[in-house]
Structures are given as C-alpha cells and as structure tokens.
Amino acid sequence: MLISVALLALLAITLSAVIALSPCRPVVRLLGFLYRLPLFIPFIVVAQMMRTFLAKNGLMNNALVAADLVTPLETLSWLGWKGIVITFVWKQLAFATLLICGAMAALESSQILAARNLGASRPRILFDIMLPQVLPTIGVALVLSTVTMMSVLSVPLMIGVGTPTMLTVDMAFRVNSYGDYAVANTLGVVSLAICGALSWFYLRHSLQQKGGES
C-alpha cells in the first residue's frame, strides 16, 4: 500500500501541476475530463475492469499482441500485488488530483505572475511557490486515500493472487477459513490504530483551517 500511496502522490501532483501551469487550454480540458472518469465508479466495478484488462489473456496483452509488440507466449499476467497497486492508484488518482488541483487553483495568481515576470521556470514555480502552500492539502488527500484503500476488500480479493496481500484479506481469510477471531481481531486493532493516526492528522488540519478562516 505504501507503493500505491507514493505513486498516487507523484502522479496527482504532476497532473495537478500540468493543469494549473500549462498554457495549452485544450490539453488542460482534456486532462480535466480524463482524470475525473474513475471518480464515481465503484471499487468492485473497477476491480472487475482491471481483472479483464490486466489478466494474461486480458485486453492489454491482446492489444500488445495485435500491435506485434509481444508474442502470445511472452504475455504476462499483471494480477497480484502489481495489479492491486495499479487499481488503487487509478481509482484514487481522480480524488487526490481534484483536491490538490483545487488547492493550487486557490493560490494567489499574483504570486505566480510575479515569479514568471522574474524569469522563474514552471518547475521552480511548482517547487518553490505552489507545493509549500498546498502540502497540507496533499497530506489530506493521501490520508483519505490511504484510509479508503485499507477499507476496500473487493480489490485485493478479485485482483490479488498469492502474496503479498492486504490486512483486510488476511482478516477475512482468518475468520472464514480457520475461525481464528483472535488473530483477525488483532489485525483489526492494528488497522484501527493506523487509521486513527491518519485521522488525527486530517482532523488537526481541518481544525487549523477552520481556525484560520474564523
């Protein structure tokens, strides 16, 4: 899951920066439409889509074979932990980008214009001006995404093959296969502690934001 969160942060920040700083409006509108697509799709539907797309005989491999990029014997199944990472990142990218992009759009445009007039490049504007001001929002987006990933059982059950797996799958396996409620409850407490720590960060940020507005 840490890999999913890291990739999500990288892609969401990059996409938000392109939307906020790109002078090409058609590209911005296209990206704005594309990144919102997964926002309202349920996780179980996304999991089934990814099973069809990432399987050894799935849509992705069939397209590669049709394009003569690989042979049928060279195709690989992406189901497993890689598929779980891809699914979570694709599903949560819309939510994280929406929050980060909104925070970037709310920044004072005079700061960006002043930096451009002084000759600052877009990467420098992003790293020196925009990112320091939207870091709390990035943290909130990643916290909410992490809690969401931890609560989803359908994706690791439908896409995960073998190990490593997620806590939710291990908890369900312990209960359904062995009736081992002690270990399942322990894993539940660990999950609760992780989510509680992340929720504390989110609530702290929300209270600070409300205090600044009042």
pLDDT digit string, tens, across residues 9-29: 999 999 988 888 887 778 778
Residue 56 has pLDDT above 70, yes or no: yes
pLDDT at position 208: 76
**Three-class SS of residue 184?**
helix
CATH number, span 2-213: 1.10.3720.10
pLDDT at position 86: 92
For residues 54-75, b (16+ Cβ closer than 10 Å) or e, as one string?
bbeebebbeeebeeeeeeeeeb
pLDDT band with cut points at 50, 70 and 90 for residue 35: confident
**Three-class SS of residue 106?**
coil
Return d(Cα 162, Cα 4) in angstroms, integer: 18
Residue 162 has pLDDT above 80, yes or no: no
* Torsion sign (Cα): 129, 132, 137, 142: positive
Average pLDDT over every residue of 194-209: 80
pLDDT band with cut points at 50, 70 and 90 for residue 163: low
Alpha carbon 5 to its chain centroid, in Å, reads 6
pLDDT band with cut points at 50, 70 and 90 for residue 211: low
pLDDT band with cut points at 50, 70 and 90 for residue 170: confident
Return d(Cα 150, Cα 67) in angstroms, integer: 37
* Torsion sign (Cα): 106, 111, 114, 118: negative
